[in-house]
Amino acid sequence: MHATSFFKRLLENQTTAVLALDNALRVQYINPSAEMLLETSAPRIMQSPISDLFLETAEALEVLQQSVLTGHPYTKREAEFLLQSGNRIKVDYSVSPLLGEQPGLLMEIHPRDRLLRITREEEMLAQQETTRILVRGMAHEIKNPLGGIRGAAQLLDRELDSPDLKDYTRVIIEEADRLRTLVDRMLGPRKAPRMAKTNIHEVLERVRTLLDAESKGTVLFSRDYDPSLPEFMGDSEQLIQAFLNIARNAMEALEQHSGQQNTPEIMIRTRALRQFTIGHCRYRLVCRVDIIDNGPGIPPELLQNIFYPMISGRANGTGLGLAIAQGIIGQHHGLIECDSEPGHTDFIIFIPLELPS
């Protein structure tokens, strides 16, 4: 095998993103990993100056140029790249001078966003497991005395002759039942999911239809579906409940701020992600669902805690809907995240379409 073609094959099979730049910092080569990271293709980016991707100061570009001239390697931490799709990513990159007849730089790019997201997800999953254990223990401690209170009230009700006094015992029984129901809701689904082949778009269309009828036309629902997504093993009824909880929260937030200038809108979008990591597991194919609303956003002080039980940004909210949704998605080995700012709140749901081998 010719040496040049051999080394090219090595680069093309690297998981690290690699670019080769000439002495004018124009792209001369990009490997497939870099194409995936930068969301572009070799024909589109070839001969483009690195400044088209580089969101840093002129001094940073000058350092790269000096690396070409001096032959000294250079490493930069937490640089920001602007992708042609409009997305921005944080990366670490290293450049090594290429000497010879055609001087230039070999740039290796290591994404930080993904590592930070994996770390954040692992912390979130650990916190949620701790919360589930705490809620189970608390529910057990609450339900035992509730059963005693309810039973004592029933016995007292039988002994009382006065209808007025019986009204008090009935209040005790009804409130005990209400508290038991609340505790059961905090625990989430009490039965294991019944897995069957599920189409994510059928689930989302059911949710959209239900909420469209509830809103009576006051909220615009739009969707952007990826038709390539295959069926997967899931419990469609539980998934409908999870997505309904998320989308209904968005709709109620929009209705509470109906005086906003823009038309209240909820966008439902699906995409396929390949070789994607959720927590510490890497999956070959993952479904990403975005439920986006143009409402007022979630206050920053609530954003980090919205998936915990009893946390709500609405005066009449129970704070259980998102916690239950996270539990259901967790049973499907997935995860829910949220990004929010005024005018744009995005609940991002990841569901593996295939379990890791």
- Write out pLDDT tens, residues 229-286: 999 999 999 999 999 999 998 898 888 776 566 788 999 999 998 878 887 778 889 9
* Contact in structure between 24 and 2 (CB atoms under 8 Å): no
Beta bridge partners, 26, equal 49
Structure confidence at residue 137 (pLDDT): 74
Mean pLDDT of the chain: 82
Say what the pTM is.
0.62
Q: Which residue has the tokens 């602007």?
A: 82
Most confident of 136-140, 149-153, 223-227, 281-285: 223-227
What's the rounded Cα separation, in Å, for the pair 210 and 292?
17
C-alpha distances out from residue 146 to 21, 166, 174, 319, Å: 71, 19, 11, 22
- Tens-place pLDDT, residues 91-118: 888 989 887 777 888 899 888 876 666 6
Decide: residue 313, CB within 10 A, 0-12 exposed, 13-18 middle, 19+ buried.
middle
Average pLDDT of the segment spanning 316-327? 73
Share of the chain above pLDDT 90, in %: 19
Most confident of 35-49, 63-77, 233-247, 267-281: 233-247
For 32, residues 6+ apart whose C-beta sits below 8 A from its C-beta are: 12
Is the pLDDT at 189 greater than 70, yes or no? no
Structure confidence at residue 247 (pLDDT): 93
What's the rounded Cα separation, in Å, for the pair 301 and 339?
13
The secondary structure of the chain, three-state, reads: CCHHHHHHHHHHCCCCEEEEEECCCEEEEECHHHHHHHCCCHHHHCCCEHHHCECCCHHHHHHHHHHHHHCCCEEEEEEEEECCCCCEEEEEEEEEEECCCCCEEEEEEEECHHHHHHHHHHHHHHHHHHHHHHHHHHHHHHHHHHHHHHHHHHHHHHHCCCHHHHHHHHHHHHHHHHHHHHHHHHHCCCCCCCCEEECHHHHHHHHHHHHHHHHCCCCEEEEECCCCCCCEEECHHHHHHHHHHHHHHHHHHHHHCCCCCCCCEEEEEEEEEEEEEECCEEEEEEEEEEEEECCCCCCHHHHCCCCCCCCCCCCCCCCCHHHHHHHHHHHCCCEEEEEEECCEEEEEEEEECCCCC
Is the pLDDT at 14 greater than 70, yes or no? yes
What's the rounded Cα separation, in Å, for the pair 55 and 346?
25
The better pLDDT of the pair 207, 79 is held by 207
Structure confidence at residue 328 (pLDDT): 87
Structure confidence at residue 165 (pLDDT): 84
Structure confidence at residue 260 (pLDDT): 60
Average pLDDT of the segment spanning 190-217? 89
Is the pLDDT at 321 greater than 80, yes or no? no
Measured in degrees and rounded to the nearest 5, phi and psi for residue 334 equal -105, -165
Structure confidence at residue 207 (pLDDT): 94
> What tokens were used for 82?
């602007």
Structure confidence at residue 259 (pLDDT): 59
Structure confidence at residue 98 (pLDDT): 84
Structure confidence at residue 1 (pLDDT): 45
Average pLDDT of the segment spanning 311-320? 58
Is the pLDDT at 338 greater than 50, yes or no? yes
The better pLDDT of the pair 277, 211 is held by 211
What is the CATH T-level fold of the domain 196-352, as seen in this structure? Heat Shock Protein 90 (3.30.565)
Q: What angle do CA 141, 147, 151 make, to 5 degrees?
A: 155
For 47, residues 6+ apart whose C-beta sits below 8 A from its C-beta are: 26, 27, 28
Pairing of strands 196-198, 27-30: unpaired
The CATH code of domain 3-111 reads 3.30.450.20
Is the pLDDT at 191 greater than 50, yes or no? yes
Is the pLDDT at 349 greater than 50, yes or no? yes
> What tokens were used for 57?
């100061």
Is the pLDDT at 186 greater than 70, yes or no? no
